[in-house]
Amino acid sequence: MTEFAHAAEPPTTRTRRRGRLGVIVIFAFGVVGAVTVMAICGSLIAPDDPHAQNLAVSLAKPSHAHWLGTDSLGRDIFSRIIAGARTAFLGPLVIAAGSMVAGNALGLFAGYRGGRVDSFIMRWVDLMWAVPSLVVIIVVAGAVGGGYWLAVLLLLVLTIPFDTRVVRGAVLEQTPRPYVEAAKTIGVADARIMWKHIWPNVAPVAIANSFLVFAGALVTLSGLSFLGLGAPPGTPDWGLMLAEGQTLLFANPVATLAPGAMIVITAVSMNLIGDWTYEQLAGRGAER
Amino acid sequence: MSSRAAKVAVREAATTVLTVDQLHIDRLRSNRQAQTIVSSFSLSVAAGETVAIVGESGSGKSMTARAITGLLPPALVAKGEVSYGGRNLLSLKEREWRRIRGREIGLVLQDPFTMLNPVMRCGRILEESTLERGLSRKARRTAAIARLSEVGIHDPSVVERYPFELSGGMRQRVAIAAALARDPTVLIADEPSTALDVTTQREILSLIKSIQIARNMALILITHDLRVAFGMCDRIYVLYAGSLVETAPSAALESEPLHPYSHGLLLSEPPADYRMRELLTIPGAVPSPDEVADSCSFAPRCRWAAAACVQAKPPLEQVVPERLSACVRLHDIRGEMAAVRDRATGEVHAAVAISDEPSLIRVENIHKVFRRGNRRVVALEDVSIVIRPNESVGLVGESGSGKTTLARMLVGLEAATSGEIIIDGVSASNWADLTQKQKRRLRDSVQIVFQDPYSSLNPTLSIGATLNEAITTRDPRARNVSARAAELLDAVGLPAAYARRKPAALSGGERQRIAIARALAANPRILICDEPVSALDMSVQAQVLNLLSTLKRTHGLGLLFITHDLAIVRQMTDRLYVIYRGRIVESGTTAAVLDSPNDPYTIKLMASIPRADVGWLESTRTIGTGLPQVSAHSARSNSR
């Protein structure tokens, strides 16, 4: 009985942790907000045309005219970073949203139904996990001809099993709870139980997980572009810029380090926002 | 009684080993005002003496125990004085505490299922608690086996087993052995038997008691159950909303409580040996200590509250020697309280009119077998029961007896392995084979209220949404859904405004009312109540039981009351079935079965009910864990 009394009182540690994260979370939101604006507006807000070549000023150091310097073709790095936000943002967004929808549906179904449905879905998930994803992408992209959206599509398919597994785990924990059984005994339809009863209770996990998926997809897509399997050459893309700059790392470090830093900062910010969102959502409804 | 009088005399001669004076516990919060957990608590206990701290959840009793052992959570701060051996323990550093804990003050906690480290073998747990260095492996093992035999575990192989391989009672024994391993002078037992079955409860309590007597230990028992306290303790401290309201010797408190709260608590605990005319309830729920900081903590729920009660916090004052009460109006209301007690404890003989109406639920020769990998677990074996309309039937058994499995089958959450269930003319052995129409008919006949109101409501849905769903699921074309929801809330005694609240904003009793309202939405003819009050506080239990009785009268509702508590069965049911290890061992009218049980298991159950007389604990001591024989039976018939 005393156990229930503890549950009724909000744990003090959580509020304290939330308070300490405040500044960092604001920073994370700032970064993601800025990247979002850059992704939407693209070259409209860039000081220069990101595609404009000017060999006269190639490999320039950061200056008033070119804030982050220029690359080997004399293109403005700062403008290319702004324009590159689009591929950095759009692909991961599609992957996170798509795998959230599909992964939640499959995870709910597998966890709630159990039995053969569960076995079938989870064996498929196991199979997908056993496949080395990078190899698959390299092979398929090599065979079909590559391209940014192909990479996005392949990553999406490979991410869905990850989401499915996480959501199923959370659903398995909710399904035997008395509130689900109570809904069954008053005759609520299964689809409604899954959507109206179970999903809101696993939502904190599912939504927070999607932020992590976003961050992971950003890094992986950049990696694929770096390997030449993502965005086509010439596109302003952070991963591609890394690849283009790597040979000139010591000649013009900023041109390489700036896109790399953007990838890291954006991914970390997304992870932090994911953690923060989980705390908020999980704190909203008391556990019991 | 004579032994108790002797004990009191001994206590006066004996030295006090531990005193708590003006203990005050606060929860510190970063940006808000500190929250009071315990506002003032004082206690003293002598060697060989047993005292009880009795209180409901939220009274601060567990935090008091933690303060005495220096185990308060980080945000909680204790002030005041806990003196032991000439020192104030509250000023100790963590390193000094380690010399006290276990060696001087031992602690046994409530839940034997989480208290023992699941990855450590029992022998290792015991070795760790003795912490004697330099012993050989063999010597440590011998010591652990000796410790176990002291707590009644004579099987030496237990030292090699993991906690999950043991039953709840065995685990609690191991925990007690660990707590006693370094011969503490004071033992604090925080609800040591609450998570256990009644029969196991008696064994554990009698074990603690016998060790205490043998070692002349001081024992502080923390419990919510007054009857356990009467059976175990010399003196009782009644704690309510963080402050003491009464302290008294057990026998005196049992015969005449001197505070309206102890009075109410005593009357809301139903007796097992006769049916009370009415269960007296205490309205409302326990307030937080800060809400009642400057008034009598019980005033908001007290029927005798007057202006004097809310002007200042009434001090704990001596009424007669050895007895203190914090009621300022005691002299005015003492006679009235006695009158209420006389009226309420008046015995009624239930009009046992076994109806010969055709049965609404008929369960015939049901078997249920669960398969866990290669293991077959027989949950129910050849069970047959009958429930007629408007009838209150009890199903009594301990955990693992299969009683909940039977309930789940009746509402379609499990299918029978073999046998037949017929509800309202529909064969309901396997719901998967039924048509929608048949299922609906079954749902209109039988609904269920689950045990734990903290998890049976969806935390993300408002109360209104929960009830509306129940209404529209039954009748998709229902109109005036919110009016019907308000009606349901009214039927369970809650205001319509509760529809906007979320479960987290409700107390346990209120949540259980909502769960009942949800079941009522289908207008069932029989309501299955699966341990509906076992998760609730004593004063709230009575409210819910009375609500069920009222619904039975006003809605013509039949009840299938599933419980381990014979006292509740006595108050609530006309007929009962006793279930033991998946089999019905005895059935008949409630009064007949409880007054003269025939089956050895029923007899053992009856003997296990906490009672104030000495025989309650002693009868197991001679018999150990086996079924009681003649001596237990005679002890039972000697009571009252």
Put simply, the answer to whether B447 touches A185 (Cβ < 8 Å) is: yes
Put simply, the answer to whether B502 touches A285 (Cβ < 8 Å) is: yes
From chain A, the residues in CB contact with B461 under 8 A are: 196-197, 200
Q: How far apart are CA B492 and CA B512, in angstroms?
A: 10
* B228 contacts chain A (CB < 8 A): no
Q: Is B611 helix (H, G, I), strand (E, B) or coil?
A: coil
Q: Which of B29, B58, B473 sits opposite A187 (nearest CB)?
A: B473
pLDDT in tens, B157-167: 888 888 888 88
User: Which pLDDT score is estimated for B14?
Assistant: 60
Selected residues 429-488 of chain B with any CB under 8 Å from a CB in chain A: 439-440, 443, 447-448, 450-452, 454-461, 469-470, 473-474
Q: What is the mean pLDDT of residues A72-101?
A: 90
In a domain, A17, yes or no: no
Put simply, the answer to whether B111 touches A285 (Cβ < 8 Å) is: no
Q: Which of B195, B193, B185 has the alpha carbon at shortest distance from B221?
A: B193
Q: Which of B85, B110, B82, B10 has the alpha carbon at shortest distance from B50?
A: B10
Put simply, the answer to whether B455 touches A288 (Cβ < 8 Å) is: yes
Count of the separate structural domains present in chain A: 1
In a domain, A197, yes or no: yes
Residues of A with CB under 8 A from a CB of B: 1-5, 7-9, 12, 15-16, 19, 177-179, 181-188, 196-197, 200-201, 285-288
* Residue B445 contacts residue B360 (beta carbons within 8 Å): yes
CA–CA–CA angle A14, A20, A25 (5° rounding): 100
Q: Which domain holds residue A211?
A: 87-287
From chain B, the residues in CB contact with A285 under 8 A are: 459-460, 502, 504
Q: In Å, how far is A204's CA from the nearest CA of chain B? A: 12
User: Which pLDDT score is estimated for B351?
Assistant: 58
CATH of the domain at A130: 1.10.3720.10
Q: Which of A4, A16, A182 sits opposite B454 (nearest CB)?
A: A4
Selected residues 29-58 of chain B with any CB under 8 Å from a CB in chain A: 29-30, 56-58
Stretches where chain B sits below pLDDT 50 are 1-2, 4-13, 620-640
Put simply, the answer to whether A182 touches B518 (Cβ < 8 Å) is: yes
H/E run at residue B530: strand B526-530
User: Which pLDDT score is estimated for B301?
Assistant: 87
From chain A, the residues in CB contact with B190 under 8 A are: 2
In a domain, A209, yes or no: yes
Q: In Å, how far is B197's CA from the nearest CA of chain A? A: 15
User: Which pLDDT score is estimated for B622?
Assistant: 39
Q: Which of B62, B451, B521 sits opposite A2 (nearest CB)?
A: B62
In a domain, A18, yes or no: no
Q: In Å, how far is B242's CA from the nearest CA of chain A? A: 13
Q: Is the pLDDT of residue A20 over 80?
A: no
Q: How far apart are CA B20 and CA B5, in angstroms?
A: 24
From chain B, the residues in CB contact with A15 under 8 A are: 30
User: Which pLDDT score is estimated for B352?
Assistant: 57
CA B539 to chain CA mean position, Å? 11
In a domain, A275, yes or no: yes
Q: By CA distance, what is B438's nearest residue in A?
A: A187
User: Which pLDDT score is estimated for B559?
Assistant: 93
From chain B, the residues in CB contact with A9 under 8 A are: 27
From chain A, the residues in CB contact with B458 under 8 A are: 179, 183, 197, 200-201
Put simply, the answer to whether B537 touches A5 (Cβ < 8 Å) is: no
Put simply, the answer to whether A178 touches B455 (Cβ < 8 Å) is: yes
Q: Is the pLDDT of residue A17 over 60?
A: no
Q: In Å, how far is B57's CA from the nearest CA of chain A? A: 5
Beta-strand pair B392-396/B323-325: unpaired
Q: By CA distance, what is B195's nearest residue in A?
A: A1
pLDDT in tens, A220-242: 999 988 888 888 888 888 988 88
* B114 contacts chain A (CB < 8 A): no
Q: In Å, how far is A158's CA from the nearest CA of chain B? A: 32
pLDDT in tens, A43-85: 788 788 888 887 777 777 888 777 787 887 878 888 888 988 9
In a domain, A144, yes or no: yes
Q: What is the mean pLDDT of residues A17-44?
A: 82
User: Which pLDDT score is estimated for B618?
Assistant: 66
Q: Which residue has the tokens 């995870």?
A: A107
Q: How far apart are CA B383 and CA B428, in angstroms?
A: 15
Q: In Å, how far is B63's CA from the nearest CA of chain A? A: 10
Put simply, the answer to whether A288 touches B454 (Cβ < 8 Å) is: yes
* B535 contacts chain A (CB < 8 A): yes
Q: In Å, how far is B3's CA from the nearest CA of chain A? A: 33
A and B: number of Cβ contacts within 8 A: 105
* B226 contacts chain A (CB < 8 A): no
In a domain, A103, yes or no: yes
From chain B, the residues in CB contact with A185 under 8 A are: 411-413, 443, 447-448
Q: Which of B75, B191, B439 sits opposite A187 (nearest CB)?
A: B439
CA–CA–CA angle B485, B490, B495 (5° rounding): 90
Q: Is the pLDDT of residue A10 over 70?
A: no
Put simply, the answer to whether A185 touches B412 (Cβ < 8 Å) is: yes
Q: In Å, how far is A21's CA from the nearest CA of chain B? A: 15
From chain A, the residues in CB contact with B473 under 8 A are: 186-188
Q: Is the pLDDT of residue A2 over 60?
A: no
In a domain, A75, yes or no: no
Q: How far apart are CA B255 and CA B252, in angstroms?
A: 5
Q: How far apart are CA A70 and CA A248, in angstroms?
A: 12
DSSP E strand boundaries for B397-513: 418-423, 426-427, 446-449
Strand partners, B88: B83
Q: By CA distance, what is B452's nearest residue in A?
A: A178
Count of beta carbons in the 10 Å neighbourhood of residue B323: 17
- Tabulate helix, strand, coil % of chain A (nearest 5): 80, 0, 20
* B518 contacts chain A (CB < 8 A): yes
Phi and psi for B579 in degrees, rounded to 5? -115, 135
CA A122 to chain CA mean position, Å? 23
Q: How far apart are CA B497 and CA B505, in angstroms?
A: 13
Give the DSSP per-residue string, B257-277: -SSHHHHHHHHHS--SSS-BS
User: Which pLDDT score is estimated for A9?
Assistant: 40
